[in-house]
Copies of this chain bind each other. A is one copy, B any other.
Amino acid sequence: MDGRCTHAVLLLLCLGSCLSLTPPAQPFVRQEKASGLGSNSSKGGLSLDVPMALRVFSVDYYHVQAPFEIVLWIMLASLAKLGFHWSGRLPAVVPESCLLIMVGLLVGGVIYGVRHSAPPTLSADAFFLFLLPPIVLDAGYFLPGKLFFENLGTILWYAVLGTLWNVLGIGVCLYGVCLLASGSLGDVSLLHCLLFSSLIAAVDPVAVLSVFQEIHVNEQLHILVFGESLLNDAVTVVLYKLFESFLRLPVVTGVDVLLGGCRVLGVGLGGLGVGLFFGLVAALTSRFTSRAQVIAPLFVFLYSYLSYLTSEMLHLSGIMAIVTCAVTMKQYVEANLSERSNTSIQYFLKMWSSVSETLIFIFLGVSTIQDVHMWSWAFVCSTLLLCLLWRATGVILLTAVVNKVRRNVVTFRDQFIIAYGGLRGAICFSLVFLIDDFPKKRLFITTTIVVILFTVFVQGMTIKPLVELLEVKRRKRNLPTVSEEIHSRLLDHLLAGIEDVVGYWGQHYWKDKFEQFNQRYLCRFLIREERQARSSIVRVYQELERRDERADEEHITQLDSNLLSSLLSSMLFNSPCLFSHFLF
């Protein structure tokens, strides 16, 4: 740790102790106005007791407590992030998520030391309603659509069957462990084990994003792991809710199990539907924002959040909804809004998700410092082992099947990274707190924390050296040129034509059909008239330019890229006919 980093840590410590001095957080407490004589500012916890009726100086902390503490936490998170990035060398070795958890542990320790009571934990509501949506929205908005849909089958295969495999495997085996150690773990039922396994089995999108952003594996491997972590939400939510309801029922009948099966489909498709609806409405709204450009970016955030909240309200998969909403609206919104609005949307999504992610990892650390931890070597260690074991076997088995169908097979090295990259994170942490009270709840919480810390620290820190050791194919840094993109599109059209001729309706056929439908109806309806690209080459160029701009952001100085892109685009815009004539 070099000098600059020490500075940052010291700064954080100060902030941390400042936070710890404040009374226990009671967010959203309202100051009730006292009336009557002589009561002015007598409620201020820190008010200076000047023995006088009228004060020249007074402090009223409770009045601003909720926003003040929230701002301080965000400030701590941002400064921590700033500190790591500033100190250059540290983040190259240790993943940011680990560093943030360590900061959280530190802050939690300081708060515990000063207050002699457990620091505040992140409430499940705050996590699911406020911190998770920005991250998933960001992930959905920047999802590489083409790659995702090309691999959708495999992703769903892993997400649905893989999660089921893991949940059932871990749950049943854990019950076996509990039966073996019936002395201390005898009161844990099979349903409890299944409930626990349903939350511990799911791969966490936040943790995966955070670690995989830094290791730069090839796009296909990345989308397989990340797509799985996004789509398994529907399965996890259903299984968790199902086992939770079963625990409350006096008897579980076959009908109940059947109904549960129906819900898996309903929750997933419902989330998809909600997201699609709000995405299309958002696209339509963005068509009419030309005269109120200032508030145009707002609709992107409002509609996607609304889709998430609506899904949560209807007990559907909120993650599915917000991702679908983002994917649906993206191309239309980008076409309708000005370049500056688009920049703001991208910046704001990245900023928000980055802060949320930071806060989540810091709170993971802070929440680890608790008064009562329940420990059982047998339970904790077997959970850890079972998680690794069932994930590995699951990936190997499922890939063996899927490789028979796929054109480009998932290699053994890829399989290893998929299995090893199955990180757990804040979602299971928040879910475990929501379990109804029962004697071993504390043990479940402790075990969850251990599993999360193990996957984030041990797997997260070793995955980068392993990727290098195994020589896993890396991401190509250079972006596709206009010519490459055109050739790839030509090939797609060709394949669609071949599929049509031989009568095999594969993905290229459907993609082509959807593209036609999109161009003929959706774009005409959802994109402003003056923005509808007249020739497809202009559209391709615009897309590439946008992608290019984002990627180059930190590499090339702004001025040069602006100059270049403006020059190029002005050339293209002034002579689109020339280009399209040349090409088609």
Listed in ascending order, the chain A residues whose CB lies under 8 Å from chain B are 27-28, 30-31, 33, 35-41, 53-54, 56-61, 63-64, 67-68, 71-72, 74-75, 78-79, 81-82, 85-86, 88, 123, 125, 129-130, 244-245, 248-250, 256, 259-260, 262-263, 266, 285, 288-289, 291-295, 297-299, 302, 305-306, 309-310, 312-315, 338-341, 343-344, 347-348, 350-351, 354-355, 434, 436-437, 553-554, 558-560, 562-563, 566-567, 569-570, 573
Contact = CB atoms under 8 A, between A and B. Distances in A.
Contacts of A123: 30
Contacts of A437: 35
A269 to B, nearest CB: 12
A82 B302 CA distance: 14
Contacts of A37: 248-250
Given A313-B64, A314-B59, A40 B75 contact: no
Contact of A294 (B256, B350, B436): B350
Given A68-B313, A72-B306, A79-B285, 7 more contacts: A40-B245, A40-B248, A53-B256, A71-B306, A295-B354, A340-B343, A340-B553
A82 B354 contact: no
Nearest to A433: B33
13 contacts: A27-B28, A35-B436, A40-B244, A40-B245, A41-B315, A54-B245, A61-B313, A64-B312, A79-B285, A86-B288, A294-B354, A297-B351, A566-B566
Binding site secondary structure of chain A: helix
A563 B355 CA distance: 34
B58 A315 contact: yes
Contacts of A78: 295, 298-299, 302
A2 to B, nearest CB: 14
A312 B562 CA distance: 43
Given A125-B30, A553-B340, A59 B348 contact: no
Number of copies: 2
A57 B310 CA distance: 13
Contacts of A285: 79, 82
A64 B312 CA distance: 7
A421 to B, nearest CB: 23
Contact of A302 (B61, B74, B306, B566): B74
B298 A355 contact: yes
B355 A295 contact: yes
Contacts of A57: 266, 314-315
Leading 6 A-B pairs by shortest Cβ distance: A28-B28, A344-B347, A563-B566, A85-B291, A85-B292, A35-B436
Nearest to A557: B338
B68 A302 contact: no
Given A75-B306, A566-B563, A347 B61 contact: no
Nearest to A549: B340
A392 to B, nearest CB: 34
Contacts of A566: 559, 562-563, 566
